[in-house]
Each structure stands twice: as structure tokens, then as C-alpha cells.
Structure 1
Amino acid sequence: MKKIINKLLIIALVFSTVMSCKDPDNAIYDVFDGVSYGAVIRTLDRVSTNYNIFDLNSRFEIVVEEQDEEYGGLLDKVNVYVSYTDKTDDGVNNSKAEILLKSIAASEFTTSANGLPSTTIAATFSEALAALGFTIGDGNYNGGDEFDFRLEVVLTDGRSFSADDASGSLQGSYFKSPYAYNVGILCIPDSPITGDYVINMQDSYGDGWQGSKIVCTIDGVENYAFLPDYWSTGLGPFTDGTATITVPAGASTVVWSFVAGDWPSEVSFQIIGPNSGNVIGDFGPSPVEGELALNLCNE
């Protein structure tokens, strides 16, 4: 059975308790004594997490649900904050400090399939620019720069929880509760940029991608890039590799996407632009499934 020894952690916790009429003095009671419970925002769907500099209506949009010790009964509101990080190396720093973009009251939430309060949080490119004081077309924002959205859960008892309260376990694959989202400004032109796209691929474990793959669909025809799977080929190790996908002259539609197989947490890759030689997409570990947004600003 694949990777049993290295990857499967089995924790057996056995308690032996002697019952008596006196209060128990087992250590477990000391462990949980004084424990308080908070709240989490869980990401159900990342509908869109990048802006297109050519499209003021492009959106940052996610679907979330809230959980607290009363299964959402303590939710008062969720505050949405936004800031801006200037990553353009031109000697001028146009970064913007964080401001409150909006507050979403508990009454605006619906009920998710999990029986918890759920809502869609969205902001268009133009809304984010205006909120931070940018003038449309003023040249103070550029492709490659970044908006940073942060969520804050406020409970009816006055407590609040945000990114600083999220441990590694909350940010992992089960809870998906980072509270914070980086939204890049990409340059996605109306017509495809043709040429050879080089894809550098890595697998942190060294046994290949095990079903994960990059798909470049050119006018309806799928082209694939991936690292071979050691477990099916018996070859390897497969820690890295390079592939090239050519978008031919005259192509009318090009869509890049990622399909996750087993252990996508080991998968990373970079896509190099055909003209500039710059990295136009850097993904992983655990790339998000679905369409890949490439930064074609300098192509």
C-alpha cells in the first residue's frame, strides 16, 4: 500500500478511567480546564481570486461559512478589510494601508448545506480601486501588484477572530480558513498570446504527480503537462521536469487549468511566458483546481 509508512499517521489515544463517587483527578480534566471556544470562517468556494487590469468588472469572489460553538448562533457580522501592495519596482511605492471595505450582518447570511451561516463575499476591481482612493487609469496600479483582503468574524458577545487567530490546522485542507486572501492584478488580453510556454514542474516527495496535471485547452483541444507517476511506471525519482506547450498563431481561445490527482500538496509549477521569459504563473504547493490566471502584463 503506497506511502503507508511515510504518510499515514495513526494516533491511538486510550483512556482508562476508574469510576468512583469522588471527583476525578485525571490529567485530562486539567488539560481542558479553562478552554474557551472561538469561531472560524471556512472557505467553501474560491469563485474568482484575481483581477484583470483590462476589466474593471473582474471580481474577487469567495463563498464562506461561519462556525462557532453554537453552530453559527453567535455570529453578529463579518468585516471585510482591504489593503494594497505595490510590487512594481519603479522607485515609487503606491501601497495603501488597510481599510474597512464592508460589513456583512448575520441577517444577510443564508444556511449552507452544513447547516451553518453562509454568504458570498465579492468586490469588483473598480470597487476595490475606489475604496482605496485610486483614480481609474491614473497609472498608480499595475499588473503584478496585489490587493489583500482580510476577514474578521465578530460575535454577539463582542469577541472577534481574524487571520492572527488562525493556526496551521485551520489553514489546512479540512478547514480552509485562512481569513486572508491575496488578489493579484493580472493582464489577460482579449486574444491569446502565441508562442512556446515553458512549464517547470516540481514534486516535493519525488514520486511524480500521481494524476495531477496542467491542461492547456487551445480551441477546444486539450494539451497536458505533468510529471510521470513512480507508482505506476516503476521509474523515477520524479522530483522535477520541464514541458513546453505551443500556442500556435491564429489560435482564438486558450484556457489554462489544473486538475488535482493524489497528494496535490506535493505539486508546484511555474509557467514561463513565450516572449518575455518571465514567470507568468507560480502555483503550489496544493494548486487550486480549475482555471489558472496567468499574468501576461509584459508579454
Structure 2
Amino acid sequence: MKKISLYLICISLLALNFSCDTDEKVVDQVLETYTSGAVLRTLETVPDDEDEAFDMFRTENSFSVTVEEQDETEGELIDRVDLTVDYVDNNKDDNDVSVSGVAYSTIPASAFTVGDRGLPSTSFSFTMEEALTTLNIPLTEVLPGDRIIMNLELFFTDGRSFKASDAAVTVTGGSFFSSPFLYSLLIDDGIAFDYEVTTSDEIDLSEGGVIEDYEASISIKDGTEEVSLLETLNIYRTFRDLTIGDDNVNLSEEEELFETYTIADLDLADSVRTLDISYTIEELLGEDLELSDLSVGDDFKLRYEIITMDGRIVTTDENDTEYFFSISTSECVQLNADAPYPGEYTINMKDDWGDGWNGGFLTVTLDGEEVPGSPFRVETGTDASGTFTVPDGATSLTLVYTSGEYDSENTFEIIDPNGKRAASEGPFENSLEIYTLEIELKVCE
């Protein structure tokens, strides 16, 4: 009956939307009603986010916690807090090193001091190295996605004890108590892997469609000056035939190594290694596929894998994750084949050298008149953007690039009103004479 009363009190008080000060009074009222329990309330953790504490390289990183104990006697019954540590191996290899319930340390009652709120509190901390040593797990088995879990069990002098499995959700995760009795720390890979597709990640199968090379820029850093913790970057390719025809011939190709790079050989600047990749459609197709084998819906997968100096493998194998990317097939149903497609267009312009377009510019003419903002250019620096709007009923739209000096530094893309790339041009040829190029926009459904 007391348990039922406790939950009803909590629900009623939540509905009143009390302040933080009122929350403390609520805790007191609840504990007066429910006299057989105790909480270890989290006052502070450093870092704040448990998922930012550890990475797979820096074993010296630490996680610290300050907790406050509350019970019906305001701490008079505290005997000790036992800490045990678990390791959860979340990787898909055959060597599962998970272990649980390993004794770590004990916090005696004497380590608690009365805090500002009149309740006993204490702090403890541990490093990743200390936890791994206790667990007897070598660093070479530690991979991103694994977790180190520190469990707390509170013991009273009368023999009672309290841990995570004893506590209700309102105690472990509720705003009143914030008493999880455990801290689950995600191990990050410690690698900043940035990947930007700079052309298109779609293969246009429409009649007359222009298939751009697939290009991407990769940057890798690991917190060292020369990115010295990482040895190899492997790229794997898969083809998925998702449109098997009446002949039931499946042209899918299993994952195979596509390219490999020694990370120490990549360009280095400001403690970042960089790599620009470029694949023609022929390179993506490989030896056994032809363009005519592709249908809308098929795709290629590129999986990136980093091997560390100590032999650990860092990768992902699911769509839209850090190291896994798709190149899809599509067919453009052109919306501007007969007339300009209405809406706002965005021009994103870049200059690789960082000194502006040096006389180059892009002129946009709508129904015989230049649009506001035209001509568009990068005046100074590395980039600029502009917009123009095509109204309903427009009959003609032309875009012309006029060269200047050092046009090989200049690139731009035009984003259509639906947020898709309608054109991507550059870098252009350098020439001693001024020349013009008309730019074709393709707005696809």
C-alpha cells in the first residue's frame, strides 16, 4: 500500500510542475512516506555526458561522480558503498570479452561528509586504465561501441542493501531522485573521420543523363600531431542488385577490398590527414558489370575501415553511419524541360585558393533581364552564396559563366527549389582569353 501511495504522490506532484527547490521538498515527503528505501542521488559527473568520457586510445581519461545519499535517517545507517565494474563487448567479432560484476573498490561510511543540503555526500573517480586493469581486459580488445559500467551498491548497518535492480524507474531516472546506481560509459573511437561527397552520390540512368564521377573529400585525425595512432585506410565496395528481372539473374557482388591507403602517406596539415577520392562509373562497375546492368533502385556501398597501429579495426556497416556510404541509382524526371521551374535557387560558389574569382562571374538572366544579385561571384576569400527566384509563368532562364584569371580555382553548384543539385560546374580551364560557358540546369522530380 505504501508503494502505491508513493507513485500517486509522485504523479500528482509532477503534474503541478514544481521548481527545483520544490523537488527537494517532494523527495523529503516521499521518503517520509516510503521508509524502507534509500537513494544515491547524482549531484555531478565530469564530464557531464557519460558518452564523452572514454575513447579507445586515451586510457588516462577519467570519469568522476559526486553522489548524495538520502534515506529515512539522513545517512545514519550508511555502512559502505561497493563498486563493481562490467565490460560490455558490443562488437560483432567472434571474441566476446564481456565480463560483469568484478569487484572494483569500496567507499566506507567515513568517506561521506555532510553537504550544503544537510545530507551525506561523497565523490569518486576512475580512469579507463584502472577499470580495464580490474577487468583484466587488454587495450587491444577495446573497440568503439563497447561500454564500461560502474555499478554502485549501498549497504546499511542493519544488513539492507540497495542497487540498480532494486530501484524503480522513478528512482533511477526520475527528476526527483536521479539515482541510477550505475554509470554506463560508452567508448568512442577517438577518431574524427569526416567525409564529404563533393559531386553527386546518385548515378543518373535517364536517357541522355550525364553521369558525374563520384568524388569525396576525407579528413582523418586522432588527436596526435601526425595522426600516428592509425596505420591503414581500407575501402570496400559492394554492389546490390535490388531489381532482379524476370530472368531471376542476381548480379549482386559481395563486398571486396576496393582500395587501400597507408595513412602516414596521406597529405598532412594542422594534424589532419586528408584524401580526395574520385571514381568513374567504369571504376565503380568493375570488370563484370556494365552500365546497362543497372536499374533504378540498385546501389553501390562503400565501407571505410581504419586499422590502428596496434591492429584494432574501426568501421561501421550500416547505412548513414560514420564509415558507410551509398551510391544510389536514379532516373531524372525533368521538371524544367519545357519551362523554368519556379521557386528559389541557391548558388554556392567556392575558390580553392582563397582570393576570390579573379574576374570570373556567373550571369543569370530571366525572361531577358538579369535577376537581382547578378552577376554572382566570390569577391574575396574562399566562398560565397547567392539566391535568385523564378516566378510562375517564366518562359526562359539562362546561366552563363564568364571566365577571368585562374579559373581552375573556381567551382559552384546550384541547388533547386526542392533542395537538390541542379548543376555542378568547375573547376574551369585557365585561358589568356576571356570565354563564356552556358550552364544547363536539370531540375528533377
| TMscore range, shorter length | 0.5 to 0.7
Q: In the alignment, which of 102, 105, 115 is matched to residue 99 of structure 1?
A: 102
Structure 2 gap segments, 5+ residues each: 1-13, 18-32, 198-267, 273-319, 327-445
User: 1:213-252 counterparts in 2 under 5 A?
Assistant: none
CA distance in 2, matches of 1:250, 1:91: 38
1:60/1:124 contact within 8 Å kept:
yes
State the 1:275 CA deviation: 5.0
Report Cα offsets for 1:176-220 as digits up to 9, x if no partner: 01112211111224xx544559xxxxxxxxxxxxxxxxxxxxxxx
CA distance in 2, matches of 1:195, 1:115: 52
User: 1:84-95 counterparts in 2 under 5 A?
Assistant: 84-95=87-98
SS in 2 for 1:99: strand
2:143/2:189 contact within 8 Å kept:
no
Report Cα offsets for 1:69-97 as digits up to 9, x if no partner: 11111111111111111101012211112
TM-score scaled by structure 1?
A: 0.53
Aligned to 2:57: 54
Aligned to 2:42: 43
Aligned to 1:184: 186
- Point out which structure has higher relative CO (alpha carbons under 8 A, 6+ apart): 1
1:130 aligns with 2:133: yes
User: 1:5-84 counterparts in 2 under 5 A?
Assistant: 9-10=15-16, 36-48=35-47, 49=50, 50-84=53-87
Report Cα offsets for 1:54-74 as digits up to 9, x if no partner: 211111221111111111111
Residue identity over aligned pairs, in percent, reads 35
Aligned to 1:283: none
1:82/1:149 contact within 8 Å kept:
yes
TM-score scaled by structure 2?
A: 0.36
RMSD (CA atoms) = 3.0
Aligned to 1:121: 124
CA distance in 1, matches of 2:149, 2:40: 17
1:78/1:104 contact within 8 Å kept:
yes
CA distance in 1, matches of 2:325, 2:125: 33
Aligned length in residues? 177
CA distance in 1, matches of 2:34, 2:194: 58
Report Cα offsets for 1:4-62 as digits up to 9, x if no partner: xxxx7359xxxxxxxxxxxxxxxxxxxxxx96422110001121333121211111221
2:97/2:137 contact within 8 Å kept:
no
CA distance in 2, matches of 1:277, 1:129: 33
1:85/1:146 contact within 8 Å kept:
yes
Letter in 2 for 1:185: I
Aligned to 2:166: 165
Letter in 2 for 1:99: V
Q: 1:277 to 1:55 in 2, by over 3 A?
A: farther
Report Cα offsets for 1:250-299 as digits up to 9, x if no partner: 7889xxxxxxxxxxxxxxxxxx6665459xxxxxxxxxxxxxxxxxxxxx
SS in 1 for 2:165: helix
User: 1:144-293 counterparts in 2 under 5 A?
Assistant: 144-170=145-171, 171-189=173-191, 193-195=193-195, 276=324
Q: 1:40 to 1:274 in 2, by over 3 A?
A: closer
Q: 1:251 to 1:9 in 2, by over 3 A?
A: farther
Q: 1:9 to 1:193 in 2, by over 3 A?
A: same
Report Cα offsets for 1:132-183 as digits up to 9, x if no partner: 1123x3x222121111111111111111001112112212112101112211
Q: 1:251 to 1:166 in 2, by over 3 A?
A: farther
* Structure 1 residue ranges (4+ consecutive) displaced by more than 3 angstroms after TM superposition: 192-197, 249-253, 272-278
Kindly name which structure, 1 or 2, has the bigger radius of gyration based on alpha carbons: 2
